[in-house]
Structure 1
Amino acid sequence: MTSVTRQQLTLLLNQQLQPELVQDFCPNGLQVEGKKDIEVLVTGVTASQALVDAAIAVSADAILVHHGYFWKNEPAIITGMKKTRLQRLLTHNINLFAYHLPLDIHPELGNNAQLGRLLGITAWQPLRAVQPQGVVMIGQFSEPKPLETVSRLLQHALGRDVLSHAAGDRLISQVAWCTGGGQGYIDAAAEAGAQLFITGEVSEQTIHSSRELGIHFIAAGHHATERYGVKALGEWLATETGIQVEFIDIPNPA
């Protein structure tokens, strides 16, 4: 079976995602060191206990996720849930790689790019009022659509119900989106002229913004909207290196 070293995989991922260009809320790259040689890599959205256990079950040498560990402002002590997760990784000598914002914003493999492609949005570009570039995207549908049509398209593509809020009955030509927890960017989307803003989560104030700014809104799930970047990254790695890569989706209604 083909293998790469931990150092080679780290270099390849960092060259592709360029984490040094982004200020983030967590360390990007290798977060937990495991075995030197990697033959089997598991990808997933979040390094939960369920994903770690699934990786152990398939004898993975490494895990690659979007949501890893060691977030800013979280307690630094290694107890409880964090201790259990780390203990399982270290006991089984499994590497953990995590890329947060660099994976959101990557122009080809990123979460935003993958969701835009999934929805058939064209001529997209970063919403330049928001930093870093690519956290929020804006683009066009090939033909104007009512909100109900876009909601059904998302439900079919993501395999889950979505929360939608109509701000009037106007058709949607221009759409802005941010995967994950991007509801706070609805004001910037409206300012840029989008008729619809799509993200993963909703807050109480988001609906007031939708009403008062006159922009349709859809919350399609944090987990659901961020499945596709890490999956695409894993597929790219398999092609580049020849190692075995398996995407494991741990269901999450959030």
Structure 2
Amino acid sequence: MDLYELDRYLEHLLSVSKFKDYCPNGIQVEGKSEITTIVSGVTASQALLDRAVSLKADAVLVHHGYFWRGEPYVVRGMKKKRLATLLKHDMSLLAYHLPLDAHPTLGNNAQLAQRLGFQVEGVMDERELQGVGNIGVLAQPMTLTEFALRVASALQREPTLVSGGSHLIKRIAWCTGGAQSYIDRAAELGVDAYLSGEISEQTTHSARELGIHYIGAGHHATECYGIQALGEHLAEQFGLKHLFVDLDNPA
């Protein structure tokens, strides 16, 4: 498949143009024009690039790519090594950040909902959050402890918990990755609990004072599934070979 044909398809599929993001979405590093094998992963780390080289990938597909807002412009050290690996092996890097978070079926939030058994009702905030977070319900109410066991089983890691009271969890809001600051918006929506990837010092106080349970399920852990689903979709749609590489990350 032609690289730029793939880029155009993904731009349309993920509605890239509607997002104001912190980084460029799409082709970040251009490699060979013909794509037959794609390696996907959460972050374009050196370890992922090295695995992609060993797997003879033509392109690397990630959620967290390069060239973030505020990032130093100079190319040296870690950045030089990463870019050198891509250029030496003529591998393209394609990255999709907020557009992948928000996609209604392939996105990180949608895929996490499937694994945790949430019924999606809508988005947390179409304007401020650009639709990247969701609200929904559980099939049956659970205590915070019961819900934590479900999360641990599904994501294979123990979540960080902050109790906001003794109430059961029925309605829930969630936003994968580093979205802990949206707990205030979740409380405004009247949900029983808010789940995200990371926790900050102030998140604990917000949860307790707002009376909302908080579950920090891991930035990496909550964002493994969107990029994997996207790679599988491309493989099915275009007959490409796709390999997802999961590199453990405790964050």
> What is the TM-score with the length of structure 1 in the denominator?
0.97
Tell me the residue number matched to 1:251. 248
Distance 1:117 1:48, change over 3 A: same
Give, as a single letter, the amino acid of the residue that structure 1 aligns with 2:71.
E
Give the gaps of 5 or more residues in structure 2.
none
TM-superposed CA distance for 1:53, in Å, is: 0.2
Tell me the residue number matched to 1:231. 228
Tell me the residue number matched to 1:29. 26
**Aligned residue runs from structure 1 range 1-254, under 5 A:** 4-128=1-125, 131-254=128-251
- 1:10-68 superposed Cα distances (whole Å, 9 cap, x missing partner): 11111101211100000000000000111110010000000000000000000000000
Give, as a single letter, the amino acid of the residue that structure 1 aligns with 2:235.
A
Aligned equivalents of 1:78, 1:133: Cα separation in 2:
31
Give, as a single letter, the amino acid of the residue that structure 1 aligns with 2:194.
F
TM-superposed CA distance for 1:130, in Å, is: 5.3
RMSD: 0.9
Distance 1:118 1:143, change over 3 A: same
TM-superposed CA distance for 1:123, in Å, is: 3.7
Aligned equivalents of 1:92, 1:174: Cα separation in 2:
48
Aligned equivalents of 1:175, 1:213: Cα separation in 2:
14
Give, as a single letter, the amino acid of the residue that structure 2 aligns with 1:194.
V
Which stretches of structure 1, 4 residues or more, deviate above 6 A after TM superposition?
none
Give, as a single letter, the amino acid of the residue that structure 2 aligns with 1:52.
L
Secondary structure of the residue that 1:84 maps to in structure 2?
helix
- 1:148-172 superposed Cα distances (whole Å, 9 cap, x missing partner): 1111111110011111111111101
> What is the TM-score with the length of structure 2 in the denominator?
0.98
Give, as a single letter, the amino acid of the residue that structure 2 aligns with 1:127.
M
TM-superposed CA distance for 1:223, in Å, is: 0.3
Secondary structure of the residue that 1:202 maps to in structure 2?
coil
Q: Is the 2:195–2:215 Cα contact (8 Å) retained in structure 1? A: yes
Give, as a single letter, the amino acid of the residue that structure 2 aligns with 1:198.
L
- 1:191-228 superposed Cα distances (whole Å, 9 cap, x missing partner): 10111000000000000000000000010100000000
Secondary structure of the residue that 1:96 maps to in structure 2?
strand
Q: Is the 1:121–1:141 Cα contact (8 Å) retained in structure 2? A: yes
Give the gaps of 5 or more residues in structure 1.
none
Secondary structure of the residue that 1:38 maps to in structure 2?
coil
Aligned equivalents of 2:89, 2:213: Cα separation in 1:
47
Aligned equivalents of 2:220, 2:15: Cα separation in 1:
23
* Count of aligned pairs between the two proteins: 251
